[in-house]
Amino acid sequence: MRDNCCGSPKDSSPMRALAAALVLAGCAAEPAAAPTAAAPNLSDTEVDPLRAWKPPQRPERYLYVATLAKSAADPDFVAIVGADPRHADYGKIVNRIDMPNVGDELHHFGYSGDQERLIVPGLFSNRIHVFEIGHDARSMQLLTVNEQLASDSGFIIPHSVISTGTGRSLVTMIGAATGTTSPGGIVEIDDKTGTFTRSFGPGPVRGPGNLAPKYMYDFDSLREAHRGISTTFGPPALCGGGIEPTCLGDEVAVWDTNFPPRVTQVANLGAHSGALEVRFIHLPGVRRALINTPGTSAVWLAHDDDQDGIFEFQQVLGPADGLVLPVDMLISYDQKYMYLTNWFGNTVQQFDIRDPFHPILKATVSVPHPNMLRLSPDGERLYVTNSLLTPWDDDVRFGPARNDNYGIWQFDVDERSGGLSSTTGDGGAWVSFTNVQKRSTVGPAGPHMMFFDPGVRLLPGEH
Do the domain assignments include residue 205?
A: yes
The pLDDT of residue 13 is 47
Cross-strand partners of 301:
290, 314
Kindly provide the residue ranges of all beta strands, DSSP E only, lying in 26-151, ordered along the sequence. Answer: 62-68, 77-82, 93-98, 110-111, 117-121, 128-133, 140-146
What 8-state DSSP symbol labels residue 150? H
pLDDT-based confidence at residue 57 (cuts at 50, 70, 90): low
The DSSP letter of residue 57 is S
d(C-alpha 165, C-alpha 12), whole Å: 49
Looking at residue 59, what is its pLDDT? 86
Instruction: Work out the percent of the chain whose per-residue pLDDT is above 90.
Output: 83
Structural domain count, the chain: 1
Dist CA 170 CA 259 (whole Å) = 14
pLDDT, one tens digit per residue, over 247-269 is 999 999 999 999 999 999 999 99
pTM over 0.95? The answer is no
**∠ CA 35-40-42, rounded to 5°:** 115
Reported as a single tens digit per residue, the pLDDT across 209-244 is: 889 999 999 999 999 999 999 999 999 999 999 999
In a domain, 35, yes or no: no
Tell me the β-bridge partners of 163: 169
Asked if residue 287 belongs to a domain, the reply is yes
Residue 316 lies in a domain: yes
Residue range of the domain that includes 104: 14-30+42-452
Residue 208, in any domain of the structure: yes
Is it the case that residue 37 has pLDDT exceeding 80?
A: no
Is residue 222 included in any domain, yes or no?
yes
Residue 91 has pLDDT above 90, yes or no: yes
pLDDT (tens digit per residue) in 139-189 = 999 999 999 999 999 999 999 999 998 899 999 999 999 999 999 999 999
* Cβ neighbours for 82, distance < 8 A, ≥ 6 positions apart: 61, 62, 63, 88, 89, 90, 91, 92, 94
d(CA 374, CA 63): 10
Q: Give the 3-state secondary structure of residue 22.
A: helix
Torsion angle in degrees (nearest 10) through CA of 461, 393, 373, 431: 130
pLDDT digits (tens, 9 = 90+) for 325-373: 999 999 999 999 999 999 999 999 999 999 999 999 999 999 999 999 9
Residue 376, pLDDT > 80, answer yes
Burial of 423 (0-12, 13-18, 19+ CB in 10 A): middle
Assess whether pLDDT exceeds 80 at residue 196.
Answer: yes
Residue-wise burial string across 342-354, b where 16 or more C-beta atoms lie within 10 A, e elsewhere: bbbbbbbbbbbbb
- In whole numbers, what is the pLDDT of the chain averaged over residues? 90
Residue 459 lies in a domain: no
Which CATH number is 95's domain given?
2.130.10.10
Position 460 in a domain: no
3-state SS, residue 292 = strand
pLDDT tens for residues 290-311? 999 999 999 999 999 999 999 9
Provide mean pLDDT across the span 382-403: 95
